Structure 1
Amino acid sequence: MTKVGERYLEVDPWTVVESSFRPELGRVSESIFSLANEYMGVRGYFEEGYSGDRLLGSYFNGFYEEIQVIQPAAYKGMIAKSRFMVNTIDWLYTRIQLDGETLDLAKSKFTNFRRVLDFRTGTLYREFIWETRSGKWLKIVFWRLLSMVEPNLGCQRITVSPLNFSGLVEMQLGLDFSPLHEATAQNFWSCEERQQQENIVALLGKTNSLGHQLFSAFSLKLGAPVQAKLVEGEKYIGLKFILELSQDKSIDIDKIVTNYADKNRNTPSREVWKTGMKQALKNQDLSFETVLKQHTSYWSEVWRTSDITIEGDPENQQGIRFCIFQLHQTLHGADSNSNIGAKGLTGEAYNGHTFWDTETYCLPFYMFNNAKAARNLLQFRYRTLPQAQERARELDCQGAFYPIATIDGNEGCGLWQHASLQLQVGSAVAYGIWHYTKVCNDDDFLYNQGIEMLIEISRCYASRGQWGPRTGEFGFYGVMGPDEFHMMVHNNCYLNFMAKKTFEFTLRTIKRMKTSCQELLLKVEQKTSLQPSELETWQH
């Protein structure tokens, strides 16, 4: 059956525009209208609450939780636990009431809906007119951004404009750790501390299994004087207030949010709170306009250096800019510990895991646009080399067996045929090292970190492969190729070819190091206990 895409978004060279809300496509829109800044990401969900179908998702790069994997039968190499990018805090939490009616676009009557993702400013803008049961018309505009300059900073602006009345509207803005992680239908958080400190409202959450901690705080800037009341719950803290509105006059409510994720389970809670509060105190004096200006300036530089123009094809022009926008949102070198999950920071699919697609498909973009980010991606593989070595031992191999899916270096895929039979990840890492050093001329990385990975990957392939009893040639038996449709395949063409190229590149690098940097070669030989007999084996 032919698959035909349904167009419901406007074609525009610099924006994605949704001019009418279609609930049946709500989740698709939430993914498309996601924002991120590498450090954190948030889906394009309605922050004012929505009782219809949605995925309220807020994620942090490399911030994960752990669950047990129940296998129908236990065999060597099957994983017993898996780690995944966990759903975190709804820091955009908003509720609005007018004449006793709570705003909910699944139930409320509204017109003039429009939602815009702007590539040039890196912002999500949404507006509509709420028509209450009492006959009042209130225009509401939501803006949000995740600063590309200050990774811990997120901003929200809500503008309310009464069109046919003057009166009171009740609002509540807060921080909520209660959203479920949809894939498991569980909430993984307990709240260690919550308090209001002068103009800052703050909350500290801790994951139940691994004990990772997330600090979140906000301060409000209101366009009118109000008396705000503190509201607290088990996993919530916020401020409730009443605005006095005058017809045809707009009021801005700005929420300046600081999020600080601590991934070291041994850090004391008080230390996490202290670090997060220090950042929140620094950010509280910022205005929405100042943050937006800095943020827009960042994106202007991105487009100055990385834009691709396509003449005469408006759909692909929009498409290529959307791709560039998403790549920069997901990774731009701000954190050396970050990597690229299969769905970025837009949702729970693939558990936030990194696959071999990163080195094969994503790395080339960064090599030509952001060499620092490209190196960070390969540094992730070097930093997780010990886990790859442990995985090799679990599978009775030598060297390093890189996982098919991971968020922390450990194998995260519970399907044994993928986790144990797909061997191409190591060759993808080797290819990434080759491609990066060839384009970026980074011999420092190649001779210090890259060569160590190449040796361990080559070792793994040499121990996993076999010599054919009929042909006498070396190859791989009982594998799953990268097409992922056939298992227990012998001599998969792609794998055999890429393993061969890995051996050759490793040997060439060692040969170059013998003449250009013997001391570094001696160091890596000692560290890896490399034997001359291994090199002879890899040459055949």
Structure 2
Amino acid sequence: MIPRKFELLPEHLYPSQEWAIVETAFSQPWMGNAETIFALSNGFIGVRGLPEEGRPTIESASFCNGFHETWPIVHAEEAYGFARTGQTMVNVPDATLLKLYVDDEPFFLPTARMVEYHRELDFRTGVLSRTIHWAAPSGKQVYITSRRLVSLEYRHLAAISYEVTVDTDAPVVISSQLLNRQDSFASDERGNGGPLSDPRRSKGFTQRVLNARHHLERDLRVCTGYRTTNSGMVLGAGMDHIMETDNPWQMQRSWSEDLGKVVFTVDARPNVPINITKFFTYHTSRTVPAVEVVDRACRTLDRAMRDGYQHLEERQRSFLGEFWSHADVQVDAEPQVQQAIRWNIFQLCQASARAETTGIPAKGLTGQAYEGHYFWDTEIYVTPFLTYTDPRVSRNLLRFRHSMLGHARDRARELSESGALFPWRTINGEEASSYYAAGTAQYHINADIAYAIKNYLDARGDFDLVAEVGAEILVETARLWCDLGFFSPETGDFHIHGVTGPDEYTTVVNDNTFTNLMARRNLRFAAAMVRRLREERPEAYAHLVHETGLIETEWAEWDLAADAMYIPFDMERGILPQDDNFLEKERWDFAGTPIDRYPLLLHFHPLVIYRHQVIKQADVVLAMVLLGDEFTLEDKRRNFDYYDPLTTGDSSLSACVQSILAAEIGYEEKALEYFQYALFMDLANVAGNVVDGAHIASTGGVWMAITYGFGGMRNYNGALSFDPRLPSTWGSLSFRIRYHESRIEVTLERECYRFELIEGDPADITVCGTPLKLLPGKPLEVAAPEAKPE
């Protein structure tokens, strides 16, 4: 992997704290990073970490998961089967705005004379708080405190508590706004909607997106219902307020299609606080009219006004208390490491907690990059964390994939194939990848989804989910592999041609090793689950046959294809070629490529990249991690040694995977190096684009690197094992997992490993090759083996 220089957050601005990110001074150079780092979300609503006063900003944005606009994809040259309709997550009206004026002077962070500034995101409360002492131009001393949250308990609700106090008489104006930024600005300061500069960035719109269809004003409440121009989706956005002060005040309300205002004019007296609580809500729909979503928004606001802001904070703390009791990871290492681990895990919570009936966008709801699309990231990098810590969410995500099955069947027909082909990138279930070579050709997404189902079953023992939705997915994905591949008339091997693996710097190849290995696992698992369903759940099996037209001869075909699957192998090097002719290509000139020419995709034509042995992200190495039971330790070491020097790390999905395999094969130094890249991917802006949002797959990969890599945790076919690789620079590592109906705490120290059943049924585990049984009230301690040199 190409070394990347990254800069940790400066300690004088962002001092390390184990349970929070703290900002001690406003800094414009770090402002874009901070907008992402301090973003709040619950999986349905997301707001970036902007100041309540609205300025300055790099990317002003709020989001609702799944709420999107569509647009026609224009191809330079048309061809049958190209994706036709793009989908982009909409920047919904911003309700965080509370513009402040004292003596008619606006509070503006870059020019304000600060006596005190403190902003903090607490991972235990889910509250973004801020304290400011502003010496206004008039000489008056102004004290501002705010607390903001996006409720993890109430899916559609967020709130701000905003208080201003002045040390002497002064006119104070606070303008609370609901601003449609999506249509107020055709593009942002960085060029969204302008010339293409980075294909990872989101598309801007030149036409209007949000059209007001219904409006309601009452007391301190403003609600608007919008309908998107093309997708026809409906949004209800609303805000309401509680004003608490002993100062004389007046209110003025106004509304236009793009801006709703409630303006508070206060005759402030010395040291008499002005407290405004602002509740805001979003509801979306594909089917109901705008008046209905506005009505839903009003009901949410009614409940919030009744319960009050403090109730929301109490419920938030309770929610996160439960979350951390399952998900916390503790390390005896540098303070920045512990802080960064918890920030990454907190991002996983924010991205997934209330993502019911949706997927998880690549950036969560912290930014608009990648259009807010769902990728394979969810199944391979995010669901492992959820499966072992919050299986409810994992189940919901797999059910959501099942809801896309109809579109996936249609897409398979469009590509002249049987079964179903899930979209490479999507929001509504239709393929939205305009560049098929690095998009639609990544057929491995089918096997990735099947893998996630198997991983869930292995970890939970929950066959109900397989019976309800998993089996149908498995049948249709297995059918696709059988139709896509073919048996060689000369050798009898089963080949899969014309696909792209995880490495997007090598596209449309024959027999991509990762794809073939994962497809083989998919085929075998599908056949096994259908047989089990017929034997154990005859009614569910009958339903499956009815829904899919399944016939018994298909199972045998799946097994035959799996048994005959061609897996490339190079005898001379003793490695698995990434595809059938990868090793025939010229190696990339890494020595002659300056560091500022990475990522390669922004500086070289795709054809230049495709002609070389150069890897964007782990491919064969990822297969070695996911399907580790199919390879020996020496297999893994030889393949890692060959592919590691070829991997640029231009993808944020790579470092965590390389860390896991490096740890397993005993390369501690490399394992820690890659872990650092993954751990600080966003906090240190390793990829150079944190302003566009957090890398959610990488945050999931951080948890995997800790538990799979340093914790040595594996679960092959439901058999849980641990072979720890605790770094020599760490004093200890502790984490908890859910396994079947048990909760297990794992504590790794230099001299011994401790395993304790926290609650639930007795559990069978294997530690360093020794089978053990965990019983209630009887922790087990295992002596740590002596470390082996690299």
- Shorter chain as normaliser: what TM range? over 0.9
Given candidates 437, 460, 463, the residue that maps to 1:440 is 460
Residue 466 of structure 1: how far off its partner (Å):
2.5
Given candidates 223, 236, 247, the residue that maps to 1:202 is 223
Given candidates 63, 66, 74, the residue that maps to 2:70 is 66
Residue 107 of structure 1: how far off its partner (Å):
4.0
Matched, 1:262 2:284: yes
Query: Distance in 1 between the 2:369 and 2:29 partners?
Result: 19
Q: Which residue of 2 aligns with 1:17?
A: 22
Q: Which residue of 1 aligns with 2:142?
A: 138
Change (3 A) 1:397 1:347: same
1:305-354 CA-to-partner distances (Å, cap 9, x unmatched) read 3222112332221122112211111112x453022111101010111111
Given candidates 250, 267, 276, the residue that maps to 1:227 is 250
SS at match of 1:227: strand
SS at match of 2:26: coil
Q: Which residue of 2 aligns with 1:240?
A: 263
Conserved in 1, the CA contact under 8 Å of 2:387 and 2:459?
Answer: yes
Range that drifts further, 373-382 or 411-420: 411-420
Q: Which residue of 2 aligns with 1:174?
A: 177
Conserved in 1, the CA contact under 8 Å of 2:220 and 2:262?
Answer: no
Conserved in 1, the CA contact under 8 Å of 2:121 and 2:129?
Answer: yes
Range that drifts further, 220-229 or 174-183: 174-183
Q: Within 5 Å, which residues of 2 pair with 1:396-415?
A: 396-415=416-435
Given candidates 15, 38, 47, the residue that maps to 1:42 is 47
Q: Which residue of 1 aligns with 2:360?
A: 340
Conserved in 1, the CA contact under 8 Å of 2:43 and 2:351?
Answer: yes
1:409-430 CA-to-partner distances (Å, cap 9, x unmatched) read 1112111112221111000010
Residue 111 of structure 1: how far off its partner (Å):
4.3
Change (3 A) 1:299 1:276: same
Q: Which residue of 2 aligns with 1:360?
A: 380
Unaligned runs of 5+ in 1: none
How many residues align? The count is 535
Q: Which residue of 2 aligns with 1:156?
A: 160
Q: Which residue of 1 aligns with 2:476?
A: 456
Residue 469 of structure 1: how far off its partner (Å):
5.6
Change (3 A) 1:105 1:121: same
Change (3 A) 1:53 1:196: closer
Q: CA RMSD in A?
A: 1.9
Conserved in 2, the CA contact under 8 Å of 1:194 and 1:237?
Answer: no
Residue 204 of structure 1: how far off its partner (Å):
2.1
Range that drifts further, 522-531 or 488-497: 522-531
Given candidates 323, 334, 339, the residue that maps to 1:302 is 323
Residue 93 of structure 1: how far off its partner (Å):
1.8
Conserved in 2, the CA contact under 8 Å of 1:148 and 1:295?
Answer: yes
Residue 130 of structure 1: how far off its partner (Å):
2.8
1:457-513 CA-to-partner distances (Å, cap 9, x unmatched) read 011111111234654311211221111110122111111111011111111112222
Residue 381 of structure 1: how far off its partner (Å):
1.0
Q: Which residue of 1 aligns with 2:631?
A: none
1:60-115 CA-to-partner distances (Å, cap 9, x unmatched) read 11111111111111112211111121110111122112223222224444343222
SS at match of 2:456: helix
Range that drifts further, 501-510 or 225-234: 225-234
Query: Distance in 2 between the 1:47 and 1:338 partners?
Result: 28
Query: Distance in 1 between the 2:230 and 2:482 partners?
Result: 38
Unaligned runs of 5+ in 2: 193-202, 561-790
1:10-63 CA-to-partner distances (Å, cap 9, x unmatched) read 21100001212221221111011010112211000122121x451111001111
Q: Which residue of 1 aligns with 2:300?
A: 279
TM-score, normalised to structure 1, is: 0.94
SS at match of 2:299: helix
Q: Which residue of 2 aligns with 1:105?
A: 109
Range that drifts further, 305-314 or 147-156: 305-314
Q: Within 5 Å, which residues of 2 pair with 1:354-393?
A: 354-393=374-413
Query: Distance in 1 between the 2:510 and 2:148 partners?
Result: 52
Change (3 A) 1:301 1:526: closer
Q: Within 5 Å, which residues of 2 pair with 1:300-339?
A: 300-332=321-353, 334=354, 336-339=356-359
Residue 220 of structure 1: how far off its partner (Å):
1.8
Query: Distance in 2 between the 1:285 and 1:238 partners?
Result: 22
1:308 maps to amino acid: V
SS at match of 2:401: helix
Change (3 A) 1:207 1:134: same
Q: Within 5 Å, which residues of 2 pair with 1:421-436?
A: 421-436=441-456
Conserved in 1, the CA contact under 8 Å of 2:242 and 2:305?
Answer: no
Query: Distance in 1 between the 2:526 and 2:311 partners?
Result: 50
1:319 maps to amino acid: A
Matched, 1:486 2:483: no
SS at match of 1:45: coil
Q: Which residue of 1 aligns with 2:526?
A: 506
Given candidates 213, 228, 246, the residue that maps to 1:192 is 213
Range that drifts further, 148-157 or 239-248: 239-248
Conserved in 1, the CA contact under 8 Å of 2:20 and 2:120?
Answer: yes
Range that drifts further, 71-80 or 191-200: 191-200
Residue 185 of structure 1: how far off its partner (Å):
4.8
Conserved in 2, the CA contact under 8 Å of 1:203 and 1:236?
Answer: no
SS at match of 2:546: helix
Q: Once the two structures are aligned, what percentage of the paired residues are identical?
A: 29
